[in-house]
Structure 1
Amino acid sequence: MGIRTHGGSLAPGGVVGDGRYRLLAQFGVDERGGAHLWRARDGQLRRDVALTILVGDPADVEAARQGRRTLERAAHTAKFTHPSVARVLDVLTLGNGISSSEGLLGIVVSEWTKGTDLIDLVNEKRIPPSTAARMVQALAEPVERAHQSGLVLGIDHPQRLRVTPDGRLRLAFPAPPPQTTLRDDVKALGAVLYLLLAGRWALPGGPPAIPPAPRDPSGQLVPPHVLEPRVPQEMSALAVRTVSDGGQGGIRTSAAILRVLDKVASAEERTRKPSENVDPDGTVWTTKKPVKDAARRRKLALGVSALVIAAVMALAWVGMMAISFFRDDPPSGPPVNLAEQSTTQQQGGQGEGDGGDGGDGGDQGGSLGEPVAPTEVSVYNPEGEGDGEADAPNAVDGDESTAWQTDEYMQQFPAFKTGVGLLAAFDQPIDLGGVRVVSDTPGTEVEIRVADSPQPSLDETRTVASGTLKGDTTELDLDDSASSQYVIVWIKTLSGEEGQFQSRLAEVSFLPSK
């Protein structure tokens, strides 16, 4: 049943923001500020967005004031960028994106965060303690950065958070209520840790979907390890100390919790069993099951076969040498002049080369030289985030059994965004002649682009080569070499089929022109 406003109801299929945003699904309500959290479709840009819709009577002076303060805070948050905080795209106010007939106080539009609702993940299974500590640690980093700038993020409601496909906690609905303080952000870090460890919410105003954390007769929080014996007491104490309003041993800053989290998580990782983080069907802190990588198994089988063949050849050679050693027959044929043989080999080497001097006779690359290794490789994602950011170095590590892959998309580019790629940075400009790509996702259309800066917009890059990956190895040669310090392998069309579009690059080599 939809929520009635002055102009209608908030229900799937409804539209808000002067008809621009069509509501898809509701993900929670933060009752403290009348904030309704929705996934919606932007009809103009044809992409999904996250909406924090402030519901209230515009004629109520106090409600209107509180709404304006929330919108102002959201506008300030738009200037803050961090992978663990969804980017604020727009702030709609009455008369500026919201008509009076809608009966709303305002809307904060932010980019949609793919992944899993935090509460759904917690209700499904408990998170290993060391993983919980790392997840909260990654969330504490943007809190610390924001606090250094005087910004409040407002992470003190679990339905505002989502878990990305790579297991990161992310503030998906940024719009801090007026009453939220810096201290509330810090306490929320402890509450999130408590939630991951014990499945209970330790702050007031939590959603009905999860039970509140129990308290003892004196009003103190019951430590998580009492509810879940598997939780280490040090980590249990950390959660309680962070949520605590004061007293001896309380943690009051995000910088302090970062230090303690790193210490506790490291100690727990040293003592836990290697398989603690893994369930039989995949890792507990991601929402995707492991990919059944047939290409990797095929490479492994080929490698084993090659080793067996090499071993057989080595044994055969040893046997032949042994036979030759014990035979006393004189060698047949005329004597060999080693000097003449050496001269003939040198002449043959020059003749079989590309017409250059004898020193280059062994090159088979034509006009291209040996690959140049970049100093850094990162995901180039000018219209979003994610897409295996931590795995980008796998594409240039010289090991074809490791790979960087995009997220899995329901729709082909450019439905969600124009594309995604890898940006390789070099110590100094190279004269690029071509790029070699090893991939087991044929049909992927790529462009080789060059840029003049390490963080260019797509319009600031220049295409110098393009092609479609055919599986295994594909070489993309430039018609004319291009000198650049920054090279982008841009994926404009993903491999796969409807509902399962994804591309994977096992190895990328950057070939300079000679």
Structure 2
Amino acid sequence: MDTRRSEQAGDAAGIRARGGSLAPGRVVGDGRYRLLAQFGVDERAAAHLWRARDGQLKRDVALTLLVGDPADPEAARQARRTLERAAHASKFGHGGVARVLDVLSLGSGVTSSEGLLGVVVAEWTKGSDLVDLVAQRPVAPAAAARMVQALAEAVDHAHQNGLVLGLDHPQRLRLTPGGALKLAFPGPLPEATLRDDVKALGAVLYLLLTGRWALPGGPPAIPAAPLTPQGHVVPPRSLVPAVPPELSSLAVRTIEDGGSGGIRTSSAILRVLGQVAEHEERTQLINAVGKDEAAADPDGTIWTTKKPVKDVARRRKLAFGVTVLVVATVVILAWGGLMLINLFQGDGKPTGPTINVAAPPGSSAPAKPGNQAPPPANQQPASPKVGDPVAPKSASLYNPEGSGDNPGRVKNTIDGDPGTIWKTDQYQQQLPALKPGVGIAVSFDNPVNLAQVKISADSPGTKVEIRSADSKNPQLDDTKVVGSGDLNGPDTTITLQQPTQSQYFIVWITQLGDNGGNGFESQIGELSFLPAA
């Protein structure tokens, strides 16, 4: 046993030594990615986790750098297996997993002189480290359940598609600004299984509740979970008494391999987490109400804060207010009685102007029996009145995270001829597997108050968004969605949520049409822009 530990310690030291040449400012991946900051090391896979800058696309990315000796056949084999699994994950899209953008291997983006066996490139996840979160204090049970629930949904979706995510290391996870956990550094271990993903969910829950990691290979910054004399993980409730017994049991039953009461699927975790989270939130609500009820009088009267004190001035104000209310009520009743008397004693002749409620505003046509308009209580808001189409000054390809897609033919979408088309490249994967979308940016001579966009296209299944922008070539995050629709016919008119004034608009494709099993692509024949009248 001591010999094995010494060998493992030596391997870990060797991994750190090989990765010691990685430092901020160094460039990897054929000079494309400049390292910015390191966020952890998964020593089990000799994987160094870095934030880097993509010099070509001018954006931050997450790099999983596989460090090793290219002359070591076993290390090279394991690295190839990790890269293969990461490449499969690039086809997977879920909010709980950072999108894999590229996979680099020896001879294909990585050279032996870099001391790397491969690189997994993923989109950068904004937020904070999971390690930093638990270093301050354990997370409240209800919040922990919700965090793991969102991550379990990603695991369940991946497992349905036969994919292993490999989230069994806390430094691979980040907490988004919205409070959700996300796998920020994809790259499963070569021998990782679906069961390992499930155990990782239990370990993450254990970490949030106790600040300790319950699986082998955790980072040195996080203490390991204690074990019982029988070698079992100590339940979280034994370390933090505030943890509900159901949540404590769930964490242990998910981590432990043996026993008939173990939890082995992500769908089972989701069911339990949903029940525990709802129960915990109800308990917190009851406790909050109970604190208010603690201020109740012995006779059963409940005060939300404290018993009121006698206040003569306040009583005088209250009496004055009641008096004013009574007088106002008497006046209203007297006025109503006079109206009834006039109604029965009058000559029945109508007074005042005649109003035709069915006529348009401003019309003085007399009312006709049976021609009154029905009450508009359930009417839907009418589409805005639109004027004649306004021709854009120019149209250009909007492709912020890619290239291609026939930029020279984009002008066909505003030439007045629906028969001349522009179409995207043909993709083997549906958006947003490789990039979030592709679109057409149009600009006008002057700002227009746009109400509708008419799209002529034979491209069923295509989904588009209409976005307004403040400049000709904005970042996608700087644009605003003002309308959306599906292209399911030869002509589709998209009415904006409300007329929007701008000089720049983008027709943004978020889902491509299915090209009959031969991939995915979309095409547009003509774009017409109709302003509000």
Q: TM-score, normalised by structure 1?
A: 0.63
The aligned counterpart of 1:15 is 27
Residue 26 (structure 1) aligned to one of 24, 31, 38: 38
Cα distance change, pair 360–221 in 1 and its aligned pair in 2 (3 A): same
Q: Alignment partner for residue 247 of structure 2, among 235, 239, 250?
A: 235
Cα contact 1:118–1:163 (8 A) shared by 2? yes
CA contact 2:483–2:495 (8 Å) conserved in 1: no
CA distance in 2, matches of 1:117, 1:351: 61
Distance 1:221 1:451, change over 3 A: closer
Query: For the residues of structure 2 that align with 1:248 and 1:433, how far apart are their CA atoms?
Result: 57
**Distance in structure 1 (CA, Å) of the matches to 2:337 and 2:66:** 92
| Aligned: 1:109 with 2:171 | no
For residues 73 and 218 of structure 2, what CA distance do their matches in structure 1 show?
A: 26
Structure 1's 464 and 117: CA in aligned 2 closer, same or farther, altered over 3 A? farther
Q: Identity of aligned pairs, percent?
A: 55
Whole-Å separation in 2 of the counterparts to 1:417 and 1:352: 45
Q: Hey, what's the Cα distance between the residues in 2 that align with 1:32 and 1:458?
A: 41
Compared CA separation, residues 324 and 433, structure 1 to 2 (3 A): same
SS of residue paired to 2:65: strand
Which SS does the other structure have where 1:352 is aligned? coil
- Equivalent pairs, count: 387
Inter-partner Cα distance in structure 2 for 1:444 and 1:243: 55
Task: Identify unmatched segments of 5+ residues in structure 2.
Answer: 1-14, 289-323, 375-379, 385-430, 438-471, 515-519
Kept in 2: contact 1:17–1:97 (CA 8 A) = yes
Shift in CA distance, 463/449, structure 1 to aligned 2, threshold 3 Å: farther
Whole-angstrom CA distance in 2 between matches of 1:336 and 1:458: 72
Provide closer, same or farther for how the CA distance between residues 453 and 256 of structure 1 changes in structure 2, counting only shifts above 3 A. closer
Residues 135-189 of structure 1: CA deviation (Å, up to 9, x unaligned): 2122112222222332211010011111111111111111001122221111111
1:5 CA drift (Å): 4.8
Aligned to 1:421: 481
3-state secondary structure, aligned to 1:272 = helix
DSSP-derived class of the 1:186 partner: helix
CA displacement at 1:452 relative to structure 2 = 10
Secondary structure of residue in 1 paired with 2:285: coil
Larger Rg: 2
Note the 1:5-404 alignment, pairs <5 A.
5=18, 9-273=21-285, 319=331, 322=334, 337-338=349-350, 341=352, 344-346=354-356, 352-353=362-363, 370=382
**Taking structure 1 as reference, are residues 415 and 227 closer, same or farther at Cα in structure 2, changes over 3 Å only?**
same
One-letter code aligned to 1:479:
P
Deviations 1:81-135 (A, max 9, x none): 1111111100011121112321110000011111111111112232221221222
Q: Given the superposition, is the C-alpha separation of residues 384 and 431 from structure 1 closer, same or farther in structure 2, using an over 3 Å criterion?
A: closer
1: CA distance, partners of 2:239 / 2:44: 28
Q: Distance in 2 between matches of 1:204 and 1:33?
A: 13
| 2:498 partner amino acid | R
Inter-CA distance 18–381: structure 2 relative to 1 (3 Å threshold): closer
CA distance in 1, matches of 2:166, 2:90: 13
SS of 1:83 mapped into structure 2: coil
Preserved contact between residue 381 and residue 420 of structure 1 (Cα < 8 Å): no
Inter-partner Cα distance in structure 2 for 1:266 and 1:35: 38
Instruction: Return closer, same or farther for 1:424/1:100 CA change in 2, 3 Å cut-off.
Output: same
Query: Contact between 2:41 and 2:47, CA under 8 Å: does it hold in 1?
Result: yes
The CA deviation string for residues 3-61 of structure 1, in whole angstroms up to 9 with x for no partner, is 7659x821112211111111111111000011001111111111111100001111111
Structure 1 unmatched runs, 5+: 277-311, 363-367, 373-379, 386-411, 466-477, 481-512
1:318 deviates by 7.5
Partner of 1:91, secondary structure, is strand
Q: What is the CA RMSD across the aligned residues, in angstroms?
A: 4.7
Opposite residue 9 of structure 1, the aligned amino acid is: S
Shift of 1:262: 2.3
How has the CA–CA distance of structure 1 residues 354 and 335 changed in structure 2, closer, same or farther, with 3 Å as cutoff?
Answer: closer
Alpha carbons 1:350, 1:361 under 8 Å: kept:
no
Structure 1 residue 427: Cα displacement: 12
Change (3 A) 1:354 1:336: closer
Aligned partner of 1:436: which letter?
Q
Change beyond 3 A, Cα 1:422–1:213: farther
SS in structure 1 at match of 2:188 = coil
TM-score after normalising by structure 2: 0.61
Structure 2 match to 1:436: 498
State the AA in 2 paired with 1:10: L
Q: Take 2:247 and 2:46, find their aligned partners in 1: how far apart are those partners?
A: 34
Conservation of the 8 A alpha-carbon contact between 2:483 and 2:496: no
Contact persistence 2:484–2:496 (CA under 8 A) = no
